């Protein structure tokens, strides 16, 4: 499905990023694994090589312009082109009432979730524009299409990801570039484990947990399958779509 393609995946060291890297590698794509965390990124590369795929690791902080330019250059230098960009690295907010949101915490979330996603798109789009082809998938969240109690900063950052997705989709549609977003609900990752611990320790329990109609979190692999589809030519008529994959959570 993705034979001879090259993909960059950010936040590829765990969760949705790792599962999507393994999935797309399985479908034939070469993967540039990008993560802040060197050990987990290298482990993703090892898992790809183990299943017979091809991958390199680039350690980078997606919120830093020089790091973003470095992973984009590494992809072009190593594989010659960028067909797929899964712009996925993100951080969650500690649940907190609006007026209690720490200003530094607000900046941290905006830096990674908004600035990081923006910078990745900016530098990858330059390459894709020259190629006159390519596709981008941004990781938003159900918090990007509805508000979430006690997570206003996170919700704002993910609404911004939706805005960046739609804006770029309009501008680049005539250049053969598709840009879509995915909105996971609850996904079983290291990240949601932390949230679960918050609930356990008596923290605020978001209504979303009760709304998880399938009664379980998604496995990262269930998101990865959608990411691989959006990355493939099978999704050729999709651009600017915000694809909710939440087991019915937002119904
Ligand atoms: P999810 O799969 O739900 O997005 P995870 O916490 O499992 O959540 O994965 C997020 C990944 O993003 C982690 O591997 C983490 O190291 C990575 N990450 C977080 N912040 C940055 C950053 N600033 N730059 C690069 N990678 C980051």
pLDDT digits (tens, 9 = 90+) for 185-202: 988 866 566 555 565 555
* Ligand 1 centroid, distance to 174 Cα (angstroms): 32
Model pLDDT, residue 57: 99
Residues with CB under 6 A from ligand 1: 10-11, 13-17, 35-37, 40, 60-63, 88-91, 112, 116, 187, 189-191
- 222-to-39, 219, 226 alpha-carbon distances in Å: 24, 5, 7
Give the number of the atom of ligand 1 that is nearest the alpha carbon of residue 184: 3
Residue minimizing CA distance to atom 13 of ligand 1: 11
Separation between Cα atoms, residue 88 and residue 34, nearest integer Å = 10
Q: Model-level pTM?
A: 0.94
Catalytic residue among 154, 172, 204, 217: 154
72-76, 77-81, 158-162, 193-197: lowest mean pLDDT where?
A: 193-197
Q: Is 71 a catalytic residue?
A: no
Model pLDDT, residue 90: 97
Inform me whether the pLDDT recorded for 205 exceeds 70. Answer: no
Nearest one of 7, 84, 91 to 48, comparing CA atoms: 7
Separation between Cα atoms, residue 15 and residue 182, nearest integer Å = 14
């Amino acid at each position: 499905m993705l034979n001879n393609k090259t993909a960059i995946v950010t936040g590829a060291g765990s969760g949705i990023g790792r599962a999507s890297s393994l999935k797309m590698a399985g479908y034939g794509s070469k993967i540039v694994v990008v993560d802040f965390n060197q050990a987990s990124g290298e482990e993703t590369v090892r898992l790809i090589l183990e299943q017979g795929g091809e991958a390199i690791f680039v350690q980078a902080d997606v919120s830093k312009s020089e790091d973003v330019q470095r992973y984009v250059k590494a992809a072009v230098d190593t594989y010659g082109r960028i067909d797929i960009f899964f712009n996925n690295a993100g951080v969650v907010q500690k649940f907190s009432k609006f007026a209690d949101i720490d200003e530094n915490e607000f900046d941290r979330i905006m830096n990674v979730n908004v600035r990081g996603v923006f910078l990745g798109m900016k530098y990858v789009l330059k390459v894709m524009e020259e190629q006159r082809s390519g596709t981008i998938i941004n990781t938003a969240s159900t918090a990007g299409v509805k508000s979430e109690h006690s997570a206003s900063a996170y919700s704002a950052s993910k609404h911004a990801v939706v805005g960046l997705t739609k804006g770029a989709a309009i501008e680049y549609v005539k250049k053969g570039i598709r840009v879509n977003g995915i909105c996971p609900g609850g996904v079983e990752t290291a990240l949601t484990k932390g949230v679960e611990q918050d609930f356990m320790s008596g923290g605020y329990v978001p209504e979303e947990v009760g709304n998880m109609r399938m009664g379980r979190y998604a496995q990262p692999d269930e998101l990865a399958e959608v990411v691989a589809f959006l990355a493939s030519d099978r999704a050729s008529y999709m651009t600017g779509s915000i694809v909710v994959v939440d087991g019915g959570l937002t119904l």
